[in-house]
Structure 1
């Protein structure tokens, strides 16, 4: 697969923002990153990260927290940013994304608080007990073209699936054939379908791009994100990523998803936790 440059990548085109005035950006939410009727939360996080990266003096997202207030839809949007604080090594900002109702009134979709820094300037010292997830080789994992007879191994593919090079660990893909394990786990190899290499901005998409763990717990339907916090720990090396997501507690119709993202050099490059609402079906 030919590698896409940042200039030709669909991800970069679809997360582009245009500065209209200081702190105000025009954006277009692409229908190519939708799940069911809503725009994917990780794509939205990356879009907000793009605007904040322009507004803040430091280059890399390090901690980004988003509250999803209403479901975003494809079409025009406005992002407003505010610089809260700037320091020597880190800067902090906020951003809101709004769309417009038929009567012209504003509808706020999400609100973000983020800290930016320079990942390339961090010390190399690593002291960790974290280990990369045990995932079978890429060719032994399941993609949308993996099922015999041409039937997709991951049914109900949505627009975003066409833009991802996603290969699920068979041990966490039982839901795709009607046999969920009952465990709140999801693991996969991850990349962008056009071959664009990962970077700190695309990691904001990665942490929220796998099927929800609720599927493997025997539930079906939409699992909208309420709040998502992502920590970007390092600039990832080129090559496919490995993503592991776990849920330990589903109660009251809500669940948490804890994600780890590992690069091709076995380094933990991103972590996230989100609170999501589960549709209790199945």
Structure 2
């Protein structure tokens, strides 16, 4: 188990609140008053990009907000996303619809579209999700899962500690308080461990506390485990399924990501997100493509 977590280093009086933060503003969707239900507009922010690509977790949160507005339940329970084409910063439209609703769960689907250089509408991502009420869940927990052992935040390292900037630029690193376990940073020193593991502390840089929508970001916020397997470059997500298990307690989150199998140019990543109360609050699995060097 990790040492007792300490609060992220945000100056007193400057901490953003849920609903009034950079993350909330940049994931907010605007419902069209066109008489057609479930249509939303958003301007995807370049502040949530890595190597020029819009982060998949940020996109998941954007679509998650549209579905929360469309469905009768407010909290994401299970969100499965297929990333069809690479999203770019700029205008996008979301079309969401209710598939089925019940007393405790509702299911919906949503797609995000942008226009290409020739003015044609292109679907970027498609999501199928189930929503409910996290506060109505029973408190009984029976688990064999344990929080990841991560050194205290002050003994971990972030992008600001790197001597060289991220190749291609990274707006998202300035939006996050991300401190990685030194044991998973061999790739940054030219000596990857080969273990396919990434662990670290996660928070938002403006001090906003975690909620179910920021958990959708957290599962895809750490560097790819492919880096610790000795690979580099963009690792685009093909499919990502996230389960939100509980509303997180205040304080920084601990995120652990592992890969057990890289084959045929694809790998899986299993992520766990733990809150300051040692509760497993989110889990995910994604399939991602890696670019292998010729002859590898």
Query: TM-score band (shorter)?
Result: over 0.9
Give the one of 240, 247, 257 matched to 1:228. Answer: 240
Contact (CA 8 Å) 2:52, 2:170: kept in 1 or not?
no
Counterpart of 2:3 in structure 1 is none
Give the one of 258, 269, 273 matched to 1:261. Answer: 273
Counterpart of 1:116 in structure 2 is 131
Equivalents in 2 of 1:145, 1:129: separation in Å? Answer: 36
1:32 is aligned to 2:44:
no
Contact (CA 8 Å) 2:107, 2:131: kept in 1 or not?
yes
1:160 is aligned to 2:172:
yes
Equivalents in 1 of 2:31, 2:166: separation in Å? Answer: 39
Q: Give the superposed CA RMSD.
A: 1.2
How many Å apart are 1:155 and its aligned residue?
4.5
Give the one of 13, 19, 37 matched to 1:22. Answer: 37
Equivalents in 2 of 1:143, 1:34: separation in Å? Answer: 17
Secondary structure at the residue paired with 1:12? helix
Give the one of 81, 101, 104 matched to 1:89. Answer: 104
Counterpart of 1:51 in structure 2 is 66
Equivalents in 2 of 1:177, 1:192: separation in Å? Answer: 26
Equivalents in 2 of 1:73, 1:205: separation in Å? Answer: 17
Counterpart of 1:71 in structure 2 is 86
Equivalents in 2 of 1:55, 1:199: separation in Å? Answer: 19
Counterpart of 2:117 in structure 1 is 102
Q: Deviations over 1:255-279 (max 9, x none)?
A: 0000000000000000000000011
Counterpart of 2:229 in structure 1 is 217
Counterpart of 2:220 in structure 1 is 208
Q: Count residues in correspondence.
A: 278
Q: Provide structure 1 residue ranges, at least 5 long, that are not aligned to the other structure.
A: none
Q: Provide structure 2 residue ranges, at least 5 long, that are not aligned to the other structure.
A: 1-9
Secondary structure at the residue paired with 1:161? helix
Secondary structure at the residue paired with 1:42? helix
More deviation, 6-15/252-261: 6-15
More deviation, 247-256/103-112: 103-112
Counterpart of 1:61 in structure 2 is 76
How many Å apart are 1:103 and its aligned residue?
2.6
Counterpart of 2:182 in structure 1 is 170
Counterpart of 1:135 in structure 2 is 150
Contact (CA 8 Å) 1:155, 1:176: kept in 2 or not?
no
How many Å apart are 1:101 and its aligned residue?
1.6
Equivalents in 2 of 1:69, 1:155: separation in Å? Answer: 25
Contact (CA 8 Å) 2:134, 2:246: kept in 1 or not?
yes
How many Å apart are 1:6 and its aligned residue?
2.8
How many Å apart are 1:50 and its aligned residue?
0.4
Contact (CA 8 Å) 1:42, 1:208: kept in 2 or not?
yes
Secondary structure at the residue paired with 1:139? helix
TM-score (norm 1): 0.96
